[in-house]
């Protein structure tokens, strides 16, 4: 039952949720319903809280001037007060019918370290496992590694197939009705809704092939999503190669394959690389295909193999954004910043690699 909303629900003991070490921040709290009001009792104060004068049985009334009506509100008020008002934090308690005001420095021995060190907080957020119940213990490591593993599987499948398909259609296929039908099909698949791809992945990879809700099934599903995009981008890159290069190589006795391998592909490689990396960026931000596939909204462990269950950053953001607790909104915003930063790095890497290979070809 909700402690602050349901009269007569008795006692509910809830530990204060800290960052990494919950119990050392303020201490264990107990929520009780007294005289028609929710009360937060300090059951077991931490060492530094005892030094500040807090005692077991104290009723928390306000932290930093912010009224406290529940254990989670107590923690959130502590964080807000430490960040906005500085330390020591003013804590108002009721003890044996008397109202007391005490001052406590939570940062003196390492508690609330993120208040002092934002970089450490970001690093902790990126490298810790996820605790789905408490926003203060949320971590992006399982979702981030899940995204990386899924993209690696997707790249291993879509990149060689996409480039090979583009080379065949552009360099070897005869211009007949079948080729035109394939071109139309590829163009249409490039614009297919991602939810439809998710249904295909569910029926084909998860059920028919028995991959289940695994990293392998997720990577294959996203490979189907970006394969037409890779083919279209690679074909456009191959078309940009001047015909004189092909004609010169053939005139010197090179075979068709030698011409493509040693002359056409190196010339078109920067544009192919740019198109494929941009398609990877799109796949990183996709949530609908994996949601239809049955990927988890969150996991609390790091996947160890292709058959393990997984989640990805977009699904984790969705899970956090839909949680009712206020703290999860900030966690979701932080995950969005991480995802956007990673996408920007991918795009910047595509530009740098394109420029590098273009200079090498021009030399």
Asked, for residue 124, whether it belongs to a domain, the answer is no
- The CATH number of the domain holding residue 78 is 2.30.42.10
Residues 250, 299, single domain; the answer is yes
Kindly give the confidence (pLDDT) of every residue in the chain, 363 residues in length, as a single tens digit, with 9 standing for 90 and above: 333 333 334 333 333 333 333 334 677 778 887 777 778 888 888 777 787 788 888 888 888 888 887 777 777 777 777 767 666 888 898 888 888 888 877 665 544 444 445 677 778 788 888 777 777 778 889 999 999 999 999 999 999 999 999 999 998 888 888 888 988 888 888 888 889 999 999 999 999 998 888 999 999 999 999 999 999 999 999 998 888 999 899 998 888 899 999 889 988 888 888 888 888 888 888 888 998 888 888 888 888 889 999 999 999 999 998 887 767 888 888 899 999 998 998 888 888 877 877 666 665
The answer as to whether 125 is a domain residue is: no
Query: Do 197 and 274 have their domain in common?
Result: yes
84: in domain: yes
* Cα–Cα distance for residue pair 257/48, rounded to 1 Å: 74
Q: Identify whether 353 is part of a domain.
A: yes
Structural domain contains residue 1: no
State whether 168 and 221 are in the same domain.
yes
The answer on 108 and 39 residing in a single domain is yes
| Residue where one domain finishes, among candidates 99, 116, 133 | 116
101 & 196 share domain:
no
Could you tell me if 23 and 108 lie in one domain? Answer: yes
The answer to the question of residue 132 being in a domain is no
Place of tokens 């394109």: 354
User: Domain span at residue 112?
Assistant: 11-116
Partnered with residue 95 across adjacent β-strands are 98
6 part of a folded domain: no
The reply to whether 188 and 109 lie within a common domain is no
CA neighbor of 188 nearest in space, from 143, 227, 140? 227
Q: Where does the chain have alpha helices with state H?
A: 47-51, 71-84, 113-116, 118-127, 141-167, 177-190, 194-200, 215-239, 243-251, 256-259, 265-284, 288-293, 313-321, 327-362
Would you list the DSSP string of 249-314? Answer: HHHTT--HHHHIIIIIHHHHHHHHHHHHHHHHHHHHT--HHHHHHT--S--SS---STTS----HH
Does this model's pTM top 0.75? My answer is no
- What own/partner pairs with CB < 8 Å and gap ≥ 24 does 328-336 have? 328/135, 328/138, 330/135, 331/125, 331/135, 331/138, 334/122, 334/125, 334/140, 335/140, 335/143
Residues 212 and 171 in one domain: yes
Mark whether 56 and 182 lie in a shared domain. Answer: no
CA distance 234 to 288: 26
Which of 116, 151, 171 terminates a domain? The answer is: 116
Assess contact for 188 and 254: CB atoms under 8 A.
no
Residue 305, in any domain of the structure = yes
Asked whether 130 and 138 are in contact (CB, 8 A), the reply is yes
How many domains does one find in the chain?
Answer: 2
**Domain limit, last residue, from 62, 83, 116:** 116
Q: Are residues 153 and 16 in the same domain?
A: no
CATH number at residue 167: 1.10.3720.10
Q: Quick one: 211 and 151 in the same domain?
A: yes
| Pair (92, 150) in one structural domain | no
Q: Residue 258, Cβ neighbours under 10 Å: how many?
A: 13
């Amino acid at each position: 039952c909700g402690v602050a909303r349901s009269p007569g629900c008795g006692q509910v003991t809830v530990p204060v949720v800290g960052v990494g070490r919950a119990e050392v921040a303020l201490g264990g709290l107990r929520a009780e319903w007294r005289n028609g009001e929710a009360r937060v009792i300090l059951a077991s104060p931490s060492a530094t809280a005892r030094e500040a004068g807090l005692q077991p049985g104290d009723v928390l009334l306000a932290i930093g001037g912010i009224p406290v009506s529940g254990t989670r509100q107590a923690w959130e008020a502590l964080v807000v007060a430490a960040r906005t008002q500085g330390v020591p934090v003013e804590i108002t308690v009721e003890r044996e019918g008397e109202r007391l005001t005490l001052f406590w420095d939570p940062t003196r021995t390492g508690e609330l370290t993120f208040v002092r060190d934002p970089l450490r907080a970001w690093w902790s957020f990126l490298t810790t496992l996820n605790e789905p119940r408490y926003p203060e213990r949320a971590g992006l490591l399982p979702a981030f590694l899940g995204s990386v593993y899924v993209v690696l599987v997707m790249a291993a499948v879509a990149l060689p197939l996409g480039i090979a398909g583009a080379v065949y259609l552009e360099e070897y296929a005869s211009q007949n009705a079948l080729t035109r039908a394939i071109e139309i099909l590829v163009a249409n698949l490039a614009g297919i809704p991602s939810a439809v791809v998710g249904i295909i992945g569910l029926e084909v990879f998860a059920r028919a092939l028995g991959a289940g809700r695994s990293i392998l099934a997720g990577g294959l599903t996203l490979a189907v999503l970006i394969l037409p995009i890779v083919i279209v981008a690679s074909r456009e890159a191959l078309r940009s190669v001047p015909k004189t290069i092909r004609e010169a190589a053939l005139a010197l006795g090179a075979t068709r394959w030698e011409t493509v391998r040693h002359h056409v592909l190196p010339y078109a490689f920067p544009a192919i690389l740019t198109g494929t990396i941009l398609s990877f960026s799109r796949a990183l931000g996709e949530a609908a295909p994996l949601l239809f596939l049955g990927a988890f909204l969150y996991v609390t462990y790091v996947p160890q193999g292709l058959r393990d269950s997984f989640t990805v950053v977009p699904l984790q953001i969705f899970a956090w954004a839909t949680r009712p607790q206020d703290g999860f909104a900030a966690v979701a915003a932080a995950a969005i910043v991480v995802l956007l930063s990673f996408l920007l790095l991918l795009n910047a890497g595509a530009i740098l690699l394109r420029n590098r290979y273009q200079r090498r070809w021009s030399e």
